[in-house]
Amino acid sequence: MADVQGGERGGAVLRDSGISLAEKVAFLSDPAAYAGVGATVETIETHMSWIFLAGERAFKLKKPVRFAYLDFSTLAAREANCRAELTLNRKLAPDVYLRVAPLTLTSEGSLKLDDEGEVIDC
């Protein structure tokens, strides 16, 4: 998940967590997912991503889709695309594109953004 607006977590081995896209979107639509960032979250869906506007920041979650012109069907493909997007966009807007923030699953089974745990999306 790209955090548009600090540090990077090293590339992790990603695998299917069993958490559905709907569960990820519901979690990321909740202001509680963004500690101290904003009181509301506006959720925007595109054909290949979900965008979450939280306070002055924007977070993007790539959908697990495959089209003739792109393949986000695996977690590894989504992570690679997020990192490539960050690298390219930082050249034009270094103060805006900050990092790739992983979506993790804690040992207790809770979703967290940019926290310790199993990386389940980015």
What is the β-pairing status of strands 49-54 and 97-100? unpaired
| Cross-strand pairs, 45 | 50
Dihedral sign for Cα atoms in the order 78, 22, 30, 114: negative
- Please give the chain's pLDDT, 122 residues, in tens: 654 443 333 333 344 568 899 999 999 999 999 987 767 999 999 999 999 999 888 999 999 999 999 999 999 999 999 999 999 999 999 999 999 999 999 999 999 998 888 999 98
pTM summary value: 0.82
